[in-house]
Chains A and B, each alone.
Chain A
Amino acid sequence: MIRRRRGYLGGAFVVVHRPQGATRRAAVLLLPPLGYEDTSAYRPLRVLADALAERGHVVLRLDWPGLGDSPGCALDDDLHARRLDAARSARDALRAAGAHVIALGVRAGGLLALAAGGFDDLVLWGVPPSGKRYLREERAFHRLASKGFGDVEGEPLPEGAQEAGGFLHGPAVVTALEALIPGATAAGRALLIGRDDAAPEEALVAALDGAELTLEQGSGLGALLENAYHATLDAAVRDTVLAWMPTESGEVAELHLEAELVLDHARERPWELEVDGRMLSGVVCLPATPRSEQDWQVFFNAGGIRRSGPNRLWTRAARQLAGIGRASLRFDVHDVGDSDGTDQPWSDLEAMYAEASVADALAAVDWVIDQGAAAIDVAGLCSGAFLGAQVSARRTVRRAVLFNGLAFVWDDDARASSMTAHIRGSLLDGRRWRRLLTGKIDARALAGSIVRKGRLRAASLWASEGAPDPVDALLQEVMARGTDLRLVSSEGDPSIAYLDAHVPPDRRPPRTLLAGADHTIRPVQLHPRVVDFVLG
C-alpha cells in the first residue's frame, strides 16, 4: 500500500508517493520530460513512482515550472532558473528528510537533473547528449507534426522561441537549453538507459566517468512518449530501475508541502473527491479574493490528457478566469492523470465515453454546486466535449464551450463515426493504422463501422421523418435548459461532419471554425483564441 500526497514545494506542484510502512533510505526525485513529452509520459511515470513506492522508496514527482499545475509561463525570462531551483529544492527537502537522493530524469528532465547537480545517484532515461541536440529533436518533431495544421493568423512567435507539439520554449529557455552541455558530474552510481534500441549517449557516459555506471540498451521510450492516449510504461525498464535501486533501509521523514499556491491574481490548491470508491484528483483555482456566491468553471479532460488540458490550456484559462473573479476546477476522471484507475493505457475508445466518466464529471460539478456556486460554466475538448454535453443535459450549466466534439452521445453511430474519424485522421495517430495492419483492429468490424457511418450520414434525414436523432435531442435539451451552448471546431475536424450529420442547420448551436488548427488545437498562435472562448 502506498500514500500519495499533493502540494507545492520549491515553486513547483509536486506529488509525493510514500510506502505505508517502513521506508528505504534511497528516495527518488522523478524529473519528467518537457512539453508534449511530459503530457504523454505523465500517467506512466506515475505508475513508475507507484512501483518504486511499493518497494519502499519515497518518490517525489514534480511539474516543471511553466508546465502542468506549477506556476510560470513559457515566456518567463527566469523559467530555466526556476526549474533548476525547483529540482534543487526538492533534492534538499528529501536530503533533509534523511534520504539518499536519486534523480530519475527522463529526456530533458535528465539534462535539467545534470544541470541542477548534487544528487547522490542518477537514473537517466532517453536523455539527449546536450540541450542543443534536444532542441533540434524538438524542432524536427514540430516540423514533422505540423502537417496536421496549417498556417494561421496571429501573433508571430517571439524571436528565438521554439514550438514543439503545441508547447512553447520561450527565447530565454531556448538560450539556456542551448548552453546545456553535461560536464563532469559527481554521482556515486548512475543507471543510463538509451533511446529505443540504442546505447546511452557517449557524452553522458563521459560526463559520469567517475560514477559506478550501469548502461542499458534502451527500450520503451517511444511507448512512453507516443501520446497521452497510448503511453505506457515498459515493463523491462521498470524492472531494470527497480533492480538497480539500493535496498538499504532507513527512515525518510514526512516532507513538508505547502497546501496552497499563491499567484498574482489567484490561489490554487489540490482537490480530491471520492466517487464510487475511487479518488479523483484535481486542482481548484480561486480568485485572490473569492466571493461567497462565486461563478465557477469546470474543465474536463481531453482524452488521456491530464487536467492541465491540451497544451496546458486549462491551467492557463483557469488563472485568467481567476483574474476576472471566477473560480474553477480542473480535474482528472478515473484512469487519467492523478486519479485512481488503471495502470495501463486504454485499449479502445469506450473508456473515454463511459458512463463512469460521466458520473465522475457529474460528481465534480455537484461538488462545485455544494460550494455555493452562483453559476457554472464548463469547457472540454474531444471526449471532454462529450462530458460537457452530458453534464449540461443533467445539471444547470450557464455556458458550455465544447471544442472538437467527435461524439456527444456514445452509441453505435458514435462508435462508427469516431473510429472512422480517428483512422481517417491518422496524421495525429499513426498507431491506429498500425493496429489495423497488424490485426489489432478487427477489419470486419471496421467495415461494419464504415457502413454504419454511411447510415450515420442519413441521421438528420431520419430526424426530419420523425425519428428523433439522439444527438440532436441531447443538444436541444441542453439549450432548452437555458445553457449558452457554443461549439468550436478546428477547420476540417471530423467534429464538423459529426454535427452536420446529426443536427439540421436550423437547429444547430452556434459553431465557430478555427482555421489552421489541428484536433488538439495546435499551433500555439491559436491558444489565446481558445482562452478567449472559455472566458466568454
Chain B
Amino acid sequence: MQEAVRELVGKHARLGVDASTLEPASDLYAAGLTSLTTVHLMLAVEDHFDVEFPDHMLGRATFESIQAIVEAVEELVHA
C-alpha cells in the first residue's frame, strides 16, 4: 500500500521533489503540499482505494506524510 500511496503522491501532490526520494514519515507540507493539492490527493486516494474520508479525517494530520495516509486508509479499509 505504501508504494501505491507514494505513486499517488507523485502524480497528484504537485511536489517540487521526486516522491520516490521521500521517506515514509517525510513532511509532505514541507515538501510543497498545499491545501488545494491535498484535496486533489485526497480524491485520488479515495478513487484508488475505494474509500471515503469522513469529515473528521479531513485535516492536515491525515495527509502530512505517506505513512499517515497509509494508516488512514488502513483504518478505513478495516473499519
Contacts and interface: CB of A to CB of B under 8 A. Distances in A.
Contacts of A434: 14-17, 31-32
A227 to B, nearest CB: 8
A444 B14 CA distance: 25
Contacts of B15: 434
A222 B11 CA distance: 12
Contacts of B31: 433-434, 437
Contacts of A144: 35, 38-39, 58-60, 63
A222 B17 contact: no
Contact of B43 (A145, A165, A195, A433): A195
B36 interface: yes
Interface string B3-24: 0000000011011110000000
A308 to B, nearest CB: 20
A433 B32 contact: yes
B32 A431 contact: yes
Nearest to A199: B47
Contact of A226 (B29, B30, B36, B58): B36
B61 to A, nearest CB: 10
A196 interface: yes
Nearest to A37: B36
Nearest to A148: B35
Contact of B34 (A137, A195, A431): A431
A35 to B, nearest CB: 12
Contact of B32 (A139, A197, A437): A437
A283 interface: no
B79 to A, nearest CB: 18
Interface string A419-444: 00000000001110111011010000
A119 to B, nearest CB: 26
Contacts of B43: 137, 195, 198
Interface in A184-224: 195-198, 221-222
A252 to B, nearest CB: 36
A437 B39 contact: no
Contacts of B60: 144, 147
B58 A139 contact: yes
Interface residues of B, number: 28
A256 B40 CA distance: 40
B11 A141 contact: no
A225 interface: yes
A507 interface: no
Interface string A130-151: 0000000101110111010000
A437 B58 contact: no
Given A140-B42, A195-B43, A222 B36 contact: yes
A195 to B, nearest CB: 6
A433 B29 CA distance: 9
B16 A438 contact: yes
Contacts of A430: 29, 32-34
Contacts of B38: 140-141, 144
B31 to A, nearest CB: 7
B72 to A, nearest CB: 13
Contacts of B33: 430
A435 B12 CA distance: 17
B75 interface: no
B2 to A, nearest CB: 19
Contacts of A198: 12, 43-44, 47
Given A140-B39, A147-B60, A222-B40, A196 B32 contact: no
B62 to A, nearest CB: 9
A299 B54 CA distance: 41
Contact of B36 (A139, A225, A435): A225
Nearest to A221: B40
A440 B16 CA distance: 10
Interface string A224-261: 01100000000000000000000000000000000000
A429 B37 CA distance: 11
Contacts of A435: 16
A429 B34 CA distance: 7
A506 B35 CA distance: 40
Nearest to A128: B43
Interface string A109-142: 0000000000000000000000000000101110
B34 A226 contact: yes
Nearest to B34: A430
B29 to A, nearest CB: 6
Given A147-B60, A195-B43, A197-B11, A141 B35 contact: yes
A217 to B, nearest CB: 11
Given A430-B29, A437-B31, A141 B36 contact: yes
Contacts of B40: 195-196, 221-222
Nearest 9 CB-CB pairings of A with B: A434-B16, A434-B32, A438-B16, A145-B35, A144-B35, A430-B34, A140-B58, A197-B11, A143-B58
Given A196-B11, A226-B34, 13 more contacts: A137-B43, A140-B38, A143-B59, A144-B38, A197-B44, A198-B12, A198-B43, A198-B44, A198-B47, A226-B36, A429-B34, A431-B34, A434-B32
23 contacts: A137-B39, A140-B58, A141-B35, A143-B55, A144-B39, A144-B59, A144-B63, A145-B35, A147-B60, A195-B43, A197-B44, A222-B36, A222-B37, A226-B36, A431-B32, A433-B16, A433-B32, A434-B15, A434-B16, A434-B32, A437-B31, A437-B32, A438-B16
